[in-house]
């Protein structure tokens, strides 16, 4: 009799980023716990109160059900804790969310001890707007994807490719709505753009704008830090060449690069021309274009959308990307398999030993 058995891995390490400190933990920890594992969680060093609060809630639930709270353990701190998790041979799987640079170091450390990694790394996501697109729908979607959460989502739209026949029209409308965006306290009704996470994030925004200008980028709107309390910057639209090196990098803020194309094939090539491969979207009313976009010669990303933004619709699906985004997938129908050990079992219920080689023991 031959069959497969799935057993818990034992301990799953989860290292999360600042921007979604609860959601990414939930995607990993909930499945890991259901699969019978214990979880060791390191939250972002800048969100320690969330780490403490969530851990307390989980511990209370476990203890109320007569399970030890230590099934779910957390740490607050810096890179030294992450390195300890990556090096520890008692942790067979490490799930890491963060930059491609740090993710590569985590992967190398875990691989050295033959552990497994689940990586959710940088995104450099693009929206393509074809000549037959619903322009009003596209503009609303671009605005939400590019400036929501102040551009601090891994699925934020950072590159926009407009067909040359509609380039001026879409750009005019987009600049108009950008100038209407309310910046301020995100808890107040009507506010779309809140602050960047830290003063360091503001410095990175300023450095990014300087690099953009040095590489021929033209600021169409925004591009400045607000002179007020808090880490507030202006949502920014930049007209730039797709060959500019800065376009290949992820600038974690509300900066959108706008570029022109002539054909679908050119747009797909531009979409695929960056190291990252998380999310992508196309706006068109042609079914043939959509099926080419989602097919083998289309987008090379892990999330491939049509007529919706690059973010906000992936809940419940297999979330993750290709290339420098890491190749990991969280959620989705078979995501539980990553958190378990798979064994193929063959049981002989008789006294005979069948051998394919035809050896006769007499």
pLDDT digit string, tens, across residues 242-276: 999 999 999 999 999 999 999 999 999 999 999 99
pLDDT of res. 349: 86
**Domain match, 80 and 18 both:** yes
Report pLDDT digits (tens) over 276-307: 999 999 999 999 999 999 999 999 999 999 99
> Domain tally for the chain?
2
Examine the domain organization and report whether 130 and 263 are in the same domain: yes
Answer whether residue 351 shows pLDDT above 90.
no
Q: CA nearest 146: which of 318, 30, 279?
A: 279
Tokens of 260: 């022109």
Q: How confident is the model at residue 361 (pLDDT cuts 50, 70, 90)?
A: low
Q: What is the CATH number of the domain that holds 86?
A: 3.40.605.10
**Residue in 63, 120, 265, 266 annotated catalytic:** 120
Asked if residue 258 and residue 159 are part of one domain, the reply reads yes
Task: Tell me, yes or no, whether 141 and 286 share the same domain.
Answer: yes
pLDDT band (50, 70, 90) for residue 356: low
Percent of the chain whose pLDDT exceeds 90 = 90
Active site annotation includes 120: yes
Q: What are the start-end ranges of the E strands in the chain? A: 2-8, 11-15, 38-42, 72-75, 93-97, 116-120, 125-129, 157-163, 218-221, 236-239, 255-261, 276-277, 279-283, 303-306, 322-323, 340-346
pLDDT at site 353: 77
Does one domain contain both 109 and 242? Answer: no
- The candidate with the shortest Cα–Cα distance to 117, out of 125, 109, 128, is 109
The predicted structure's pLDDT at residue 362 = 62
Instruction: Specify if 362 maps to a domain.
Output: no
In a domain, 17, yes or no: yes
Identify whether residues 239 and 202 lie together within a single domain: yes
Are 282 and 150 part of one and the same domain? yes
What confidence score (pLDDT) does residue 128 get? 98
Do 159 and 291 belong together in one domain? yes
Would the CA dihedral through 84, 59, 16, 337 be positive or negative? Answer: positive
Contact 236, 160 (CB under 8 A): no
Domain co-membership, 73 together with 200: no
Q: With a cut of 80, say whether residue 203 has pLDDT above it.
A: yes
Q: For residue 314, tell me if it sits in a domain.
A: no
Residue 111 located in a structural domain: yes
Whether 23 and 166 map to the same domain: the answer is no
Q: Give CA–CA dist 321/277, Å, rounded.
A: 5
In a domain, 355, yes or no: no
* pTM of the model as a whole: 0.94
In a domain, 316, yes or no: no
Asked whether residue 139 falls in the same domain as residue 276, the answer is yes
The answer on 137 and 107 residing in a single domain is: no
Q: Residue 84 falls within a domain, yes or no?
A: yes
For residue 176, the enclosing domain spans 125-306
On whether residue 10 sits in a domain, the answer given is yes
CATH of the domain at 229: 3.40.309.10
Distance CA 26, CA 116 (A): 19
The mean per-residue pLDDT over the stretch 29-41 comes to 97
């Amino acid at each position: 009799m031959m069959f497969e058995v799935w057993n818990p891995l034992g301990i799953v390490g989860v290292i999360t980023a600042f921007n979604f400190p609860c959601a990414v933990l939930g995607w990993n920890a909930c499945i890991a716990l259901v699969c019978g594992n214990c979880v060791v969680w390191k939250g972002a060093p800048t969100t320690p109160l969330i780490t403490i609060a969530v851990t307390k809630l989980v511990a209370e639930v476990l203890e109320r059900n007569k399970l030890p709270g230590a099934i779910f353990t957390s740490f607050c701190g810096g890179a030294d804790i992450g390195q300890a998790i990556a090096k520890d041979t008692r942790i067979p799987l490490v799930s890491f969310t963060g930059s491609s640079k740090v993710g590569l170091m985590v992967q190398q450390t875990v691989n050295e001890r033959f552990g497994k990694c689940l990586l959710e790394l940088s995104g450099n996501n693009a929206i393509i707007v074809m000549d037959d697109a619903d322009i009003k729908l596209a503009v609303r979607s671009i605005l939400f994807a590019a400036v929501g959460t102040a551009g601090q989502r891994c699925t934020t739209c950072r590159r926009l490719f407009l067909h040359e026949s509609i380039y001026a029209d879409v750009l005019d409308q987009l600049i108009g709505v950008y100038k209407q965006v309310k910046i301020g306290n995100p808890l107040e009704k009507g506010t779309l753009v809140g602050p960047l996470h830290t003063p360091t994030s503001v410095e990175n925004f300023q450095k990014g704008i300087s690099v953009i200008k040095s590489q021929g980028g033209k600021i169409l709107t925004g591009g400045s830090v607000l002179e007020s309390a808090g880490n507030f910057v202006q949502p920014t639209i930049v007209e730039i060449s797709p060959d500019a090196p800065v376009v290949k990098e992820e600038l974690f803020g509300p900066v959108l690069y706008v570029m022109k194309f002539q054909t679908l094939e050119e747009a797909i090539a531009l979409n695929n021309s960056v190291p990252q491969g998380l999310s992508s979207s196309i706006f068109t009313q042609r079914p043939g274009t959509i099926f080419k976009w989602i097919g083998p010669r289309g987008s090379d990303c892990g999330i491939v959308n049509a007529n919706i933004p690059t973010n906000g619709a992936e809940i419940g699906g297999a979330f993750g990307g290709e290339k420098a985004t890491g190749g990991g997938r969280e959620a989705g129908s078979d995501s539980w398999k990553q958190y378990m050990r798979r064994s193929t079992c063959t049981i002989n219920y008789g006294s005979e030993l069948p051998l394919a080689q035809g050896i006769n023991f007499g």
